[in-house]
Chains A and B, each alone.
Chain A
Amino acid sequence: MDAQLSNVLQQQQKQKHNLLDNTQNQKGEEEIQLVGFIVGDEEYAIPILDIQEIIKPIEYTRIPSTPEYVLGAFNLRGNVIPLIDLRMKFSLPRKEADETTRYIVMRDGDNIAGFVIDKLTEAIRLKKSSIDPTPETLHKDQGMIYGIGKREKTIITILKVASLLQRDF
């Protein structure tokens, strides 16, 4: 079962990567689906296919010898999953969990982690053509940003899940 499941997931991933990659070359009219959320004052988004699930805050256990933004690990139906505070990862002050706080569990292959965000906004459909590559000046952000999505009134930062899940300590 598990093997099948991961197979399907992998295929999805592949498709999605293909989709994303294609944008660079050809300005097709394909759409990608994103989930938008707020961390601090800004709105971010990640591809919906990278999300395993979204849960309400639950108890977690601190893990020593890790950077501050690694809050710890929590139990997700029998699996031990790391928990990362995106506010702290983005060098914002820490905030107590409240009504709107959620954990987004993201997956990249076998790598999996939960990310604390302040608030979910909405599911977004964006045309590939309306996603611009990261501006040169932002490149130093460890490549966490995949691109900038242009919407009618606002712009939205699309994060790269693979690099979010990259351990950098």
Chain B
Amino acid sequence: MDDLREILEDFLIEAFELVEQIDQDLVELENNPEDLELLNRIFRVAHTVKGSSSFLNFDVLTRLTHHMEDVLNKARRDELKITPEVMDVILESVDMMKALLQCIKENSSDTECGIEIDDICNRFDAISQGKPLEALEESTETAEEKAPEPQPEPEEEPDYANMSDEEVEAEIQRLLEEKMKEKEAKKAKKKSAEPKKQAQKPAAAAPVKQTSSPAKADASAPKKVASTPEQTIRVEVKRLDHLMNLIGELVLGKNRLLKIYDDVEERYEGEKFLEELNQVVSSVSLVTTDLQIAVMKTRMLPVSKVFNKFPRLVRDLSRELNKEIELVTIGEDTELDKSIVEEIGDPLVHMIRNSCDHGIESPDEREAKGKPRKGTVKLKAYNEGNQIVIAIEDDGAGMDPEFLKMKAIEKGVITEREADQLSDKEAYALIFRPGFSTAAKVTGVSGRGVGMDVVKTNIEKLNGIIDIDSELGKGSVFKLKIPLTLAIMQSLLVSVQEEFFAIPLASVLETVRISMDEIYTIEGKNVLRLRNEILSLVRLSDMFGVEQVFDGGEHVYVVIIGLAESKLGIIVDGLVGQEEIVIKSMGDYLQGIEGIAGATIRGDGGVTLITDVAAMMKLAKEINVDLTQQTSLETVQKTKPEDFHLLIVDDSKTDRTIMKKSLAPLGVKLTEATNGVEALNMIKTGDINFDAVLIDIEMPQMDGYTLAAEIRKYSRYKNLPLLAVTSRVSKADRLRGIESGMTEYITKPYSAEYLMETVRKNINLPVMEVA
């Protein structure tokens, strides 16, 4: 039983592949009815499916393919002309074949789904008997009576049910041979037409003839086969996914290693082992990157997997719409991650429908405009950096921004006021709004105003961008820009107060640093004028409710994100850098939190959230905080010396006492810490808000440089004065102090006045009469 199951699975895989191929071939055939090779190829598909399905006892499928085979066989022998009407029937039968195969896949039987093939079989019969199709309705009855098989050259199909074991063996052998021959025939295609015909005919003819002729025909073929054996194996997708997950872990490990190396490098500058460590780290990181790319590649599929469907689609559409449309595909070899290939099919179908229906004009209209009667839709795929671009170009009517605006107002999608502010590009983007459709009449193809809306959502799901360009009367170009893979991505890390967020780099258009003065307010919305564009602005902290612990200052960073066709400026406090991140699920409990696409684990082992750009765009609309009138943090005005609080960090009690004595006249509060770790903990808890820290450099556990660097890691202490008080006087020491984030460098011994003055200056203590 298991053997049968295995055969069945092989059959299904093969059949689906064949059917996919057949669609494209058939459309091509319509344009090139004389192409014998194409015909043969299509015939062979029908034949192969028939052979295998009869062996597996799928009677319905066998009957259908048998009828197909008949008609095709006649066409092959030039006894029948392939007209569009005939083609319609053939295509319909291919669809049925697909449906049957699907049915078999799901139920292991082709009768469960109740697919009726009588009608189509009759039509096939009519065609093969040369009757006009119009007369079919009446002739159906008669044709049925004439059945079974009034074909001129009936196929000798063995009766499997009554065969003995040996005969079954022989039959299997025969089927196998046929298959081999077909493969060989394909390989031998480049040869002259003569041996090809010979090679293929036996496949269709009775088994008896077969033994002799193929041997002759393929005499030279086997050598070729031997030199180029097929170097592929089928691998379960699950295994590849698992591999991808493991690589994800490895990438995280690598990031962590790099981070540790950075820390070590800082601490042990100039040590010999660093060089060695550096080599290891870089080679590990290099190999990891290569490995990641290699695994990603195994998951890549050519876009032709999707593109293959479209010639048929366009062909059907053009007949349905009474237009003449040619589809040109370029760059089918471009590869994309499997998961994306699966997702991208539907949006593309909608976009192509849109181009055919709304873009391309009717032949007469085109002629009147001086264009060729036949319209062209170009489907292009190519790589651009870390993205793949799929462009759908048509040479149709193009879009009229004014008309779109008018329609949108009419349908209540936007208000008149909004319409006035829209640029042409934004007007084009209106077609992606739900409830918008410009088709004067609803056709079976489009005009219901659902399709394009779905396109946008699907592309956004893939973190993609849609770019539209159009010229009235000349045509339109839709560009879908999609990241190559979903699991591992490049991100821009930004900081907001003390939190970090990762923004998918694919959605980041640019970053700018602006001063608060450059923010304008239009109708209660904050906007930024960037070159010739007006961008709405929103603070990331408002969007994600980040606690405001310190004031950003006069300058802010703006990350401009773009998604599909819209743009938004997001204000953050700092740009941390670009990092490769692995997307981790946050589990059921935290699924679907607005604005958050997932989480990742960073080099330091912490969790960082990944923003969901599409949701951010939505969230931004709901936020109404006027940035220009923000109430700055309520800082208690400190006037009296007692309001100020200093921290003294020194391991020597004497030194601490000297400092305390020197600073006593100022009247400020003083707290002591005996080493870096203790000081850092006091600062971290934030129980006391220190106004300045005096730091000794030489200390056990954590030295002053490290302490300063650690303190500076907290964005709220970015501006906290850190004063180094040390006996290290060399220039290199001073330099290192500045590097680690010290504000001042005071060398011992110092005079009490000097220390007081420096502290006073740094904490802005008002000068008072010192007693």
Say how far A161's CB is from chain B's closest CB, in angstroms.
Answer: 12
1/0 per position for B117-157, CB-CB distance to A under 8 A? 00000000000000000000000000000000000000000
Say how far B69's CB is from chain A's closest CB, in angstroms.
Answer: 45
Q: Is the CB of B590 within 8 A of A66?
A: yes
B595 within 8 A of A: yes
Say how far B608's CB is from chain A's closest CB, in angstroms.
Answer: 7
B residues in contact (CB < 8 Å) with A: 249, 252, 499, 543-546, 584-591, 593-596, 599, 601, 605-609
- Some 16 contacts from A to B, beta carbons below 8 A apart, are A61-B499, A62-B499, A64-B543, A64-B546, A65-B544, A65-B545, A66-B590, A73-B599, A78-B601, A80-B584, A82-B589, A82-B590, A110-B587, A111-B588, A111-B589, A113-B587
- Residues in A with CB closer than 8 Å to B589 are 82, 111-113, 165, 167
**A62 to B608 CA separation, bound complex (whole angstroms):** 9
Give the secondary structure class of B's interface: loop
Q: Is the CB of A80 within 8 A of B595?
A: no
Say how far B241's CB is from chain A's closest CB, in angstroms.
Answer: 13
Could you say which of A64, A78, A112 contacts B593, with CB atoms under 8 Å apart?
A: A64
A146 within 8 A of B: no
- Residues in B with CB closer than 8 Å to A82 are 586-587, 589-590
Chain A residue, CB-CB nearest to B252: A78
Say how far A168's CB is from chain B's closest CB, in angstroms.
Answer: 10
**A35 to B134 CA separation, bound complex (whole angstroms):** 81
- Residues in B with CB closer than 8 Å to A112 are 587, 589
A74 within 8 A of B: yes
Since A80-B601, A167-B591 are in contact, a sample of 10 more A-B pairs with Cβ atoms closer than 8 Å, ordered by chain A residue number, is A61-B608, A61-B609, A62-B499, A74-B607, A78-B252, A80-B586, A80-B607, A111-B588, A112-B587, A113-B589
Say how far B675's CB is from chain A's closest CB, in angstroms.
Answer: 22
Say how far B411's CB is from chain A's closest CB, in angstroms.
Answer: 32
Q: Is the CB of A63 within 8 A of B593?
A: yes
Give the secondary structure class of A's interface: strand
- Residues in B with CB closer than 8 Å to A78 are 249, 252, 584, 601
Chain B residue, CB-CB nearest to A61: B607
Q: Is the CB of A64 within 8 A of B601?
A: no
Q: Is the CB of A64 within 8 A of B607?
A: no
A residues in contact (CB < 8 Å) with B: 59-66, 70, 72-75, 78-82, 110-113, 165, 167
With A59-B606, A61-B599, A64-B544 as given contacts, are A80 and B587 in contact (CB-CB < 8 Å)? yes
Q: Is the CB of B587 within 8 A of A111?
A: yes
Chain A residue, CB-CB nearest to B543: A64
Most buried by A among B249, B585, B590, B593: B590
**A74 to B499 CA separation, bound complex (whole angstroms):** 14
- Residues in A with CB closer than 8 Å to B587 are 80-82, 110-113
**A72 to B546 CA separation, bound complex (whole angstroms):** 13
Chain A residue, CB-CB nearest to B592: A167
Q: Is the CB of B584 within 8 A of A61?
A: no
- Residues in B with CB closer than 8 Å to A113 are 587, 589
- Residues in B with CB closer than 8 Å to A59 are 606
Q: Is the CB of B544 within 8 A of A75?
A: no
Chain A residue, CB-CB nearest to B586: A80
Chain B residue, CB-CB nearest to A165: B589
Chain B residue, CB-CB nearest to A60: B607
Chain A residue, CB-CB nearest to B498: A62
- Residues in A with CB closer than 8 Å to B601 are 75, 78, 80
Say how far A56's CB is from chain B's closest CB, in angstroms.
Answer: 15
Say how far B490's CB is from chain A's closest CB, in angstroms.
Answer: 20
Most buried by B among A60, A62, A64, A78: A64
- Residues in A with CB closer than 8 Å to B594 are 65
**A85 to B595 CA separation, bound complex (whole angstroms):** 23
- Residues in A with CB closer than 8 Å to B590 are 63, 66, 70, 73, 82, 167
**A63 to B499 CA separation, bound complex (whole angstroms):** 10
Q: Is the CB of B596 within 8 A of A110?
A: no
Say how far B621's CB is from chain A's closest CB, in angstroms.
Answer: 15
Q: Is the CB of B545 within 8 A of A64?
A: yes
Say how far B231's CB is from chain A's closest CB, in angstroms.
Answer: 31
Could you say which of B585, B593, B595, B606 contacts A61, with CB atoms under 8 Å apart?
A: B606
**A73 to B593 CA separation, bound complex (whole angstroms):** 13
**A78 to B598 CA separation, bound complex (whole angstroms):** 14
**A73 to B584 CA separation, bound complex (whole angstroms):** 12
With A63-B596, A111-B589, A112-B587 as given contacts, are A75 and B249 in contact (CB-CB < 8 Å)? no
- Residues in B with CB closer than 8 Å to A62 are 499
Q: Is the CB of B606 within 8 A of A64?
A: no
Chain A residue, CB-CB nearest to B253: A78
- Residues in A with CB closer than 8 Å to B585 are 80
**A81 to B596 CA separation, bound complex (whole angstroms):** 15
Could you say which of A70, A79, A80, A110 contacts B588, with CB atoms under 8 Å apart?
A: A110
